[in-house]
Amino acid sequence: MALLTSAIQTYSILATALAAGANLSTSVITFPALLHAKPPVLTEQWHILYNTGITPVVGLAATGSAGFATLAYRAAVAPGLSSLEGGLWTKRNLYIAAAAVTIGFAPYTRVVMWDTIQELERRARRGEADDKENTRELVLRWGTLNLWRGVLLLTGAGLGMWASVV
């Protein structure tokens, strides 16, 4: 049992941290380079970047979150696994928080970022040739929102790590 718990802990923390790293590197490293392009090329490059990142980030975050949820369940049914008894910051509660924050990137994307994503995708498909509709500002907004999405994922990894060491 302890080996399985350790394997799930390791995978969940690493998967979530990798998702956070991929997401954050998009905003911190790759994204600034895109901003030098003219609007039609900018939206096309953004579209490629966005679509390339969906599968690995979503897959890693979803499986990491599922792992944290599994660990929360295991901590609840086998209280001996928890080094903390009672209180808010039990292993179970920390794993629940890690799972919720990690998968929370999906509703964040849908609720907070979706209009921006849809407009950028529309512009990428049309290949707009001018900047009269403030394409650069729209891409900058996406970059800022994406940075916060990465922070959510990193927070999930941190909570999972905390739960694993207490």
pLDDT surpassing 60 at residue 148: yes
CA–CA separation, 102 vs 63, rounded Å?
10
**Residue reference for tokens 């009269």:** 132
Q: What is the pTM of this model?
A: 0.88
pLDDT digits (tens, 9 = 90+) for 70-128: 999 999 887 655 555 556 568 999 999 999 999 999 999 999 999 999 999 999 988 76
What do you get for the CA distance between the two ends of the chain, in Å? 18
Tokens standing for 45? 């490059």
For residues 75 and 25, give the distance between their C-alpha atoms in angstroms, rounded to a whole number. 33
Tens-digit pLDDT profile for residues 29-42: 998 899 999 888 99
User: Which range of residues forms the domain containing residue 17?
Assistant: 2-165
How confident is the model at residue 139, as a pLDDT? 93
Show Cβ contacts of residue 78 under 8 Å, excluding neighbours closer than 6 positions: 1
Domain count for the chain: 1
Residue type, 106: A
